[in-house]
Amino acid sequence: MKRLAVLFVLGAACAWAGEEVELKGELGCGHCDYHKAQSCAAGLKTADGKIYLIDNATKEIMDARVKGAKATVTGKVTEKEGLLYVHATKQEITK
């Protein structure tokens, strides 16, 4: 039974890491506001409190992060050294 549970968790993690997801939340500086990055970066805080660093943020997103704008980001999520990253295929500022 324990093996089945472990396989289920591993399978869910692999599916989560490979699929595109849509994230909505508030933009902020990954360093100054969210204390997750070593230097200034675009971060997105979702309603569940998770913080994602946008590894390929557009200039528009980078500018909007200092204003606390809301955004929708679509892309693949990865985890590295305990941090969540999203490689965005679509990024837009929302109201």
Can you spell out the DSSP letters for 47-64? TTS-EEEETT--HHHHHH
> In terms of Cα–Cα distance, which of 80, 62, 60, 69 is closest to 24?
69
What does the pLDDT look like over 36-74, one tens digit per residue? 999 999 999 999 999 999 999 999 999 999 998 999 999
What does the pLDDT look like over 15-26, one tens digit per residue? 455 799 999 999
Rounded Cα distance, 66 and 40, in Å? 10
